[in-house]
């Protein structure tokens, strides 16, 4: 697949997740077998597009990042359709590291962000304290990138909530204390969010650029 114009997210990509039910048990109670098969087919088609996007991005990143084999989450967990698509990028030298760069698509937004993966974190390396210690470094880091469309939020905040613009966070010294109070013993997340529109063109180029911008934060944890 070519880069550029073919790599775009359309309204249909977001609408895929606009549904009342995600559990197959609930779907079977509300739809015919034929309708469920069509839903599954539609999901698979969009997921294949999502997978292709991540593969294009991975091949376009600097070789020295060693991020050419992203972990692309499946479109189902066996019992449920996903309510979002997710992908993690990790340096293979730190494949079991809790911190990662990630992409996520849900019904509201597309995001490229730095995160600490709490799920099964005890089986991976990298402490929560070291990760959260990045918070005071964001001001200096922000001076090296264009933080338009960047947001910051506590990990416990729902992914569909209205997150805080990073520019507003950095402009108000009190916001740091407010964020730390909201962490609830967890982590923060920071990254670029693009919201549901008619289309987001050259999305692969945007992801590559954003990962490059976030890379210094990620590799500071290596």
pLDDT exceeds 50 at position 161:
yes
95-137 pLDDT, tens digit per residue, is: 789 999 999 999 999 999 999 999 888 888 889 999 999 999 9
From the number of C-beta atoms within 10 Å of its C-beta (0-12, 13-18, 19+), residue 203 rates as buried
Q: Does 1 map to a domain?
A: no
Q: What is the pLDDT of residue 7?
A: 83
pLDDT of residue 3: 43
Instruction: Using the predicted structure, report yes or no on whether residue 2 has a pLDDT greater than 80.
Output: no
CB 59 within 8 A of CB 108: no
Digit-coded pLDDT (tens) for 9-38: 999 999 999 999 999 999 999 999 999 999
Task: With a cut of 50, say whether residue 148 has pLDDT above it.
Answer: yes
Average pLDDT of the residues in 65-92: 96
Q: Kindly report the average pLDDT of the chain as a whole number.
A: 94
Residue 145 included in any domain = yes
Is 204 inside any structural domain?
Answer: yes
Q: Which domain does 100 fall in, by range?
A: 9-219
Inside any domain, residue 113: yes
Residue 6: pLDDT band (50, 70, 90) is: low
pLDDT value, residue 145: 97
Confidence of residue 222 (pLDDT cuts 50, 70, 90): confident
The owner of tokens 């966070």 is: 169
- The mean pLDDT value for 82-93 works out to 95
Per the structure, the count of domains in the chain is: 1
Determine if the pTM surpasses 0.75: yes
Residue 147 domain flag: yes
Q: What is the CATH number of the domain that holds 215?
A: 3.30.930.20
In a domain? residue 4: no
- Domain membership of residue 80 (yes or no) is yes
Q: Is residue 2 part of a domain?
A: no
């Amino acid at each position: 697949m070519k880069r550029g114009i073919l790599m775009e997210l359309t309204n249909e990509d977001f609408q895929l997740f606009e549904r009342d039910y995600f559990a197959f048990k609930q779907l079977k109670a509300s739809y015919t077998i034929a309708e469920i098969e069509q839903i599954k087919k539609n999901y698979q088609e969009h997921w294949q597009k999502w997978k292709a996007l991540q593969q294009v991005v991975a091949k376009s990143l600097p070789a020295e990042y060693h991020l050419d084999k992203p972990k692309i989450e499946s479109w189902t967990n066996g019992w449920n359709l996903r309510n979002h698509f997710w992908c993690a990028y990790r340096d293979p030298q730190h494949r079991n590291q809790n911190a990662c760069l990630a992409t996520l698509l849900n019904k509201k937004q597309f995001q490229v962000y730095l995160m600490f993966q709490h799920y099964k974190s005890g089986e991976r390396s990298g402490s929560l304290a070291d990760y959260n210690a990045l918070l005071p470094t964001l001001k200096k880091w922000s001076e090296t990138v264009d933080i338009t469309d960047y947001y910051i939020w506590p990990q416990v905040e729902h992914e569909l909530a209205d997150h805080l613009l990073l520019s507003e966070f950095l402009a108000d010294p009190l916001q740091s204390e407010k964020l730390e109070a909201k962490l609830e013993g967890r982590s923060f997340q920071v990254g670029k969010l693009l919201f549901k529109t008619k289309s987001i063109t050259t999305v692969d180029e945007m992801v590559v650029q954003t990962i490059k911008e976030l890379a210094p934060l990620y590799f500071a944890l290596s």
